[in-house]
Every structure is written in C-alpha cells, then in structure tokens.
Amino acid sequence: MTERYAVRQSGSGGQGMILAGVILAEAVGIYDGKNVAQTQSYGPEARGGASRSDVVISDGEIDYPKAEEIDLLMTLTQESFDNYHKSLKPDGILIYDSDYVKPNVKNPPFKMYGYPIIRVAREYVGKEIVANIVALGIIAEKTGIVSKESLEKAVLARVPKGTEVLNRRALETGYLLAQGKKLLD
C-alpha cells in the first residue's frame, strides 16, 4: 500500500454505504492499527438521495482527512458513478454494481470490476440490505487494504444483534465474488 490510500463508497441513501465506510475505518484503524480518517456526505433525503463515505488510510499521519483523488471507488448507482468516477486516480480501481451501473468511459485509465452486488445479496445471501457488506468483502479481496480477520471483527461489532450469521455470510460472499466465483445462474 502507498503512504495514503483513499476509498469512496457511494450509492443512494438506505444502501448502507455510510455504515460500510464506518466499518472499513474501524477495521483498518482499531483492528489493523493503521491511521484512518472517515468522512461522509449525503443528500437531504433519508432514503434515495445520493450518499457517500470516504475512508483515508495511511501508515503515517493524515494531515488532511478529505479524499480528493481516490484510489478506489465502490458505486452501487449510476448517479454516484457519474458524480465520482472523475475523482479516481489513473491507476485506481472502480468496483461497481453491474446491474445498475454502466460505466460510460472510453479507454478508462483505471481498472474496472463489475459484480451484481445487490442481486447477489438478495438472491444468494438472502437479504438485499446486506449489499454493503458484500461490497466490503469485494473491496478487501481486491485491494488487501484490510485483513479479513479485522474486517469480520468490525462487521460483527457494528451489525444489529441477531444478524451476525447473515452478515458473516454476506462478507464471505463478497470475497467469493471478487475471486471470480459464479454464485448465480
């Protein structure tokens, strides 16, 4: 990992991308012991408006907590892709929900990985609401910015009691998707 690594998780309100950012920040900061800053932004709507969570990770001090140029963009909606893909560094990574996002970029300077994240959460894991946790598993597998153990601890510390099995399955499903496993017909 470079000195500073910025992750933006984006979608619409209600998809849990802000919670995913908090979980990622806690996993990296509390359990992996790195420096981290997490910020968030969302529209005035409680559900359906644009939302994003930025996590800046560093081995050294973080003197500016905002993510201006991002190394990884996770997006679940076309609107969030349209708004944020220009902030991706040329050697960055775009991870997107392939059912809802159509990256309309010719010759992108960044790597692109599309997965049916929401559909897999709904049909394979059993609940669409855990798509954010599936997304975290994909991010961790594709980047190595957080250890699997730390991410699982952070997820289980944040999710509602009684949903631990569901969320552990969602996290593991994200790892499997990122490894190229076919989970749906």
CATH number reported for the structural domain that contains residue 97 in this entry: 3.40.920.10
Q: How confident is the model at residue 81 (pLDDT cuts 50, 70, 90)?
A: very high
Average pLDDT of the residues of the chain: 92
Domain range spanning residue 58?
4-178
Contact at 8 Å (CB) between 39 and 66? yes
Q: Does 109 map to a domain? A: yes
pTM: 0.93
Domain count of the fold of the chain? 1
Does residue 115 surpass a pLDDT of 60?
Answer: yes
What are the CA-CA distances from residue 13 to residues 4, 45, 70, 116, 151 (Å)?
27, 7, 21, 19, 23
Contact at 8 Å (CB) between 133 and 170? yes
Q: How confident is the model at residue 2 (pLDDT cuts 50, 70, 90)?
A: very low
The mean per-residue pLDDT over the stretch 91-111 comes to 94
Contact at 8 Å (CB) between 10 and 52? yes
Q: CA-based Rg of the chain, rounded to a whole angstrom?
A: 15
